[in-house]
Amino acid sequence: MSILQQAIADHVFPGAAFAVTQGEEILTAGSAGRFTYEPDSPEILPGTVFDLASVTKVVATTAMAMTLYDQGKLDLNRKVMDVIPKFGSGDARDARRRQITFRMLLAHSSGLPAYARLFERVQTREALLNAIYSMPLDADPDTRAEYSDIGFILLGEALSRIAGEPLNQFCQREIFAKLAMNNTTYVPPANWKPAIPPTVDDQKFRRRVVQGEVNDENASVLGGVAGHAGVFSNVEDVSRFALSILGYGPQLFRRETISLFVTRQSIPAGTSRALGWDTPSAPSQSGQYFSANSCGHLGYTGTSLWIDNQRKLSITLLTNRTWPHADNQAIKQLRPKFHDAIMKELLKFQ
């Protein structure tokens, strides 16, 4: 806890909540700080709901892919253009796009760009998706691992088409409800918003404080429901998800499916990516002590989840490090320090 309190004093973030699971239970959970740096701001509690940002990629989008895979509805080697014909058609389009598979999107090896400020030139969900369907590739498919929000926006749309319903509806029913993640949702209801820490004082795009709505601008144009960002949750609910991945509590996925998705890919050479998940590679934001058989993900707003499948434990850390603006990158030093402190304590008893 002293590490978090010092981080708050150093303005790494205004506040944070964390939880640690070991074996089949949540071992401990705690919190520190406030919604903002103002002394009269609401306190962060262990149950405080945060914008998960890209942790959405694992607790929602990848989990949806795993579910559809288990149901026999998703072939990882299927071409994305088979589901979204506009993505691979047209004379002006890059012919390499027709090679892109669902596995490549999950492994961040599609060749699509990492990011684009599409929100600056489109105003609707349809227009943003159309911009992605015609976006040039940065590399040949399967030749380079490039972490891509663009790829996961495309993946979310393609999975929705396979499922025949929007991401948020599928994830709410098939994942969040089944794990009793009662404080987890896309697009939080209005009565939740005052109890969610703000993420940014956005004076450029939305021209307001962003609180209780998705921080990511492209996700905002997409209505708050996207494959790369948009889920809100608290540390208890994220821990429930981690426990399910570890084999405890309600089992959403076959063990073989979990193993397939959390195992580091061999293509492209040198990648740290699994399917949807990341794995530790030195130096890692997970710190020094997570085993090679671990998986996790980070979020832009200062969120993270790391799961050690060998030692059967997980650490969730949720913050709003982007308040009042995202320039501060000190969380990159804080995360491994925090993880190492917890792991050293846990490993004393193993």
108 close to 147: Cβ distance less than 8 angstroms: yes
Helix (H, G, I), strand (E, B) or coil at 65: helix
The contacts of residue 72 (CB under 8 Å, 6+ apart) are none
pTM of the entire structure? 0.97
- Give Cα separations from 201 to 118, 210, 215, 287 (angstroms): 20, 6, 10, 31
The confidence band for 222, taking pLDDT boundaries of 50, 70 and 90, is very high
Higher pLDDT, 348 or 224: 224
The answer to whether residue 91 scores a pLDDT higher than 80 is no
Q: Which helix (H) or strand (E) holds 82?
A: helix 80-83
User: Which pLDDT score, from 0 to 100, does residue 350 have?
Assistant: 66
Query: What digits encode the pLDDT tens for the residues 165-174?
Result: 999 999 999 9
The answer to whether residue 90 scores a pLDDT higher than 60 is no
Hey, what domains does the chain have and what are their CATH numbers?
2-51+183-347 (3.40.710.10), 66-168 (no CATH)
| DSSP per-residue codes, 212-270 | SS-S-HHHHHTTT--SSS-EEE-HHHHHHHHHHHTT-SS--S-HHHHHHHHSPP-SSTT
Tokens describing residue 35: 């919604």
Query: What digits encode the pLDDT tens for the residues 249-259?
Result: 999 999 999 99
